[in-house]
Amino acid sequence: MNNPDNYKVKRILNLVSKQEPVTFSEEELKQAQDERTDVIARGLEKYNDFAQQRKNDKNTGS
């Protein structure tokens, strides 16, 4: 029996193995990390706002 997840993983590994390796400097890694931290913080803030709004809507019966 073929597992669809195995097929997907094989396709991804095949695509990744065809790519040339990319190297990053410490500065580039630090910059990318800082950018991702900001994105994660904003995403969590939006999620928390949405969750709070749903909680408030549930409490008011809307």
> Model confidence over 46-62: pLDDT tens digits?
999 999 999 988 888 75
Asked, for residue 15, whether it belongs to a domain, the answer is no
Asked, for residue 10, whether it belongs to a domain, the answer is no
Asked, for residue 20, whether it belongs to a domain, the answer is no
Q: Which domain holds residue 59?
A: 26-62
Dist. CA 48–CA 36, nearest whole Å: 18
Q: How far is CA 7 from the centre of its chain?
A: 22
DSSP secondary-structure letter at 20?
Answer: P
- What single letter denotes the amino acid at residue 30? K
Q: What are 17-49's pLDDT values in tens digits? A: 998 988 999 999 999 998 888 888 899 999 999
pLDDT for residue 19 = 86
Asked, for residue 55, whether it belongs to a domain, the answer is yes
Asked, for residue 34, whether it belongs to a domain, the answer is yes
pLDDT for residue 5 = 80
DSSP secondary-structure letter at 19?
Answer: S
Asked, for residue 45, whether it belongs to a domain, the answer is yes
Number of independent structural domains in the chain: 1
